[in-house]
Structure 1
Amino acid sequence: MENTIIPESSLDFLHQLKTNNNKPWFEANKPKYLIELNHIENFAGALLHELSKTDVLETYSGKKSVYRIYRDIRFSKDKTPFKTFWGGSFTRATAARRGGYYFHIEKGNSFLAGGFWGPNASDIKRIRSEFAQDPESMQKILTSKSFVSTFGSLQGEQLKTAPKGYDVNHPAIELLRYKQFLIMKRFTDEEILSPLFLNQALETFQNMRPFFDYMSEILTTDVNGASTL
């Protein structure tokens, strides 16, 4: 099906926008932008449809998942008005299904990611208390064959030293240092444009589930394992 394929023109438009990142050029080329946006929204819709067969998501359509192309430049030194990538996300539904799936399509810099970008202080505290008591459960997920072959390793910002209340020699110190909990897989332009990419994207997101499910379990229980929902 055509709407499951990202055409090369969608990457080419981004490349042109990168060298002409100004409002007059964008307005003159807005019809072209809308055509390419439609391709991305259709692809996102197809991916959302397939992913919804195995997860509960509160994102209702491919169109709703795709981010606006306009940059928020109010607090940025970079005043270029437009993003030079297609980006979007699918949010896991209900309090019991925490985290979200993210896609980033850009010439030479495409990736799929998931996880917890900005957990609040209480969530980080709860996660660390679990890792401190039982690091093996998360380590088992992070060292599984499917995780390593797909994502490599857990990513995200880390403290340079031990978090407050933990010893620097704690056996789970590497996990305890994380402030973000992210996983990511990169794709080449050739992979993005391939008819196989929809299935590869779906498989990538599905391989996030053990990580998501365990993190959701942590964040919806107290230190004794009792539900907080």
Structure 2
Amino acid sequence: MPSSLRSMRHMLIGFLVFGFIYTMVSVLWGFSALAAFPALERADLATPTLLASEFVPPVLGVIVMIGIMAAAVSTIDSIMLTLASMVSRDVYANVKPNVSEKRQLLMGKFVVPVIALMALAFAELELDLIAVLSVAASSGLVATVPALIGAFYWKRGTAAGAVVSVVGTSAFVLLMYATGNSLLSLPAGVWGILVASVLFVGVSLMTKPHQATTDAFFTAISEELGKKSLQWGL
């Protein structure tokens, strides 16, 4: 938990840098698999095929596979808990405003196994969509990057700019995938970050920021971080 707004800003940049490095490693890994096995039929088999090949020492292959499994399990846990919290607090609590915390907790506990069963049913279909979904998710996430950075670093940014940036870029990315995922030989992810940045900056400059809301936003964050710091003894 960051101890101040400045620390939160640094953490945000750190996550973005880590995400960029992770993406570059994944891309290089994919190109390595393509170069080593040009006849590979499915992109989903790139990692297991490369780890099982003579190019990777067996011990290193086992360690990497264990790391991948551990990361997958922790990611699945986080996603299920996040979705359960969203349903119980953002949906159920709004439908029933006076619902108690205990009822919200019970709703969250009910949602977790439902999500797990839905994911299991989807996996049983074996649609060979791991690579496609991963790329599509990454391309879609870039729509939020300019708005996130702008929220903490650019006080001229507006809510309208953030909404138009996220919605417009998401629609643009979906359109690119529907029409072949290529424009001027560049994939949706590259165009997504460009479109999101242009929309966020352009719409923000054309609209007027609500200074009172901006000040309240940073004040609330600073106060909440201060409370957490006291609780953790920082």
Taking structure 2 as the reference length, the TM-score comes to: 0.22
Query: Which structure shows the bigger proportion of residues in strand conformation?
Result: 1
Compare CA radii of gyration and give the structure with the larger one: 2
